[in-house]
A = this chain, B = another copy of it.
């Protein structure tokens, strides 16, 4: 199987995930302050997940793009990642509706952690299979380091939610910053003159 088909399917699933979350935003009963204030945690939760899935889209897309031929192992590692990503809307709604109640933030961290782990597994399968373009060895090695950092941060974020949800939030932000720019390393490889 060519990677382009897997890319198209994964991009489709991710585009649907990022979009259907809006169906979980329930309109308030009235425009009074009492009825509207619960929108703040709900929308905050929505924004966090929109950014998270957006970051996954960019990085995942680059990762699959580096592969030329997809084997069954990669196919299922990718399905496994999509499964955990598909639970993000559910965890987002729960965290938002409960106004960042500690257990729901911990669950959200668990889901993100599983996404991170399954992304890492997919990344390792690709780097070990040598299915990628040779010039991309170094950027992918950097991704492995970033992946390990993310898993550690998410794993700390799970118990941290019970101390204070904002500690977990800070960790989500840290991972987001880490992955913000999907193609920086790949750009450096292809054009080393921009690398001081």
Interface of A toward B, CB cutoff 8 Å: 1, 5, 8-9, 11-25, 27-28, 31, 47, 50, 54, 57-58, 61-62, 72, 75, 79, 82-83, 86-87, 89-90, 93-94, 97-98, 101, 103-104, 181-184
A94–chain B nearest beta-carbon distance, Å: 4
A89–chain B nearest beta-carbon distance, Å: 5
Contact A97 B15 (CB under 8 A): no
Contact A8 B11 (CB under 8 A): yes
Whole-angstrom CA separation of A184 from B75 in the bound complex? 13
Contact A23 B79 (CB under 8 A): no
A40–chain B nearest beta-carbon distance, Å: 14
**Are A19 and B86 CB-contacts (below 8 A) given A93-B27, A183-B1?**
yes
A136–chain B nearest beta-carbon distance, Å: 14
**Are A72 and B31 CB-contacts (below 8 A) given A15-B16, A17-B19, A23-B89?**
no
Please name all residues of chain B whose beta carbon is closer than 8 Å to the beta carbon of A16 when the two chains form the complex: 12, 15-16, 19-20
Whole-angstrom CA separation of A82 from B23 in the bound complex? 15
**Are A79 and B98 CB-contacts (below 8 A) given A11-B12, A184-B72?**
no
Whole-angstrom CA separation of A103 from B28 in the bound complex? 12
- Top 5 A-B residue pairs of the complex, sorted by shortest distance between their CB atoms: A12-B15, A31-B103, A16-B19, A27-B94, A25-B90
A45–chain B nearest beta-carbon distance, Å: 11
A56–chain B nearest beta-carbon distance, Å: 12
Contact A31 B101 (CB under 8 A): yes
Please name all residues of chain B whose beta carbon is closer than 8 Å to the beta carbon of A79 when the two chains form the complex: 54
A186–chain B nearest beta-carbon distance, Å: 9
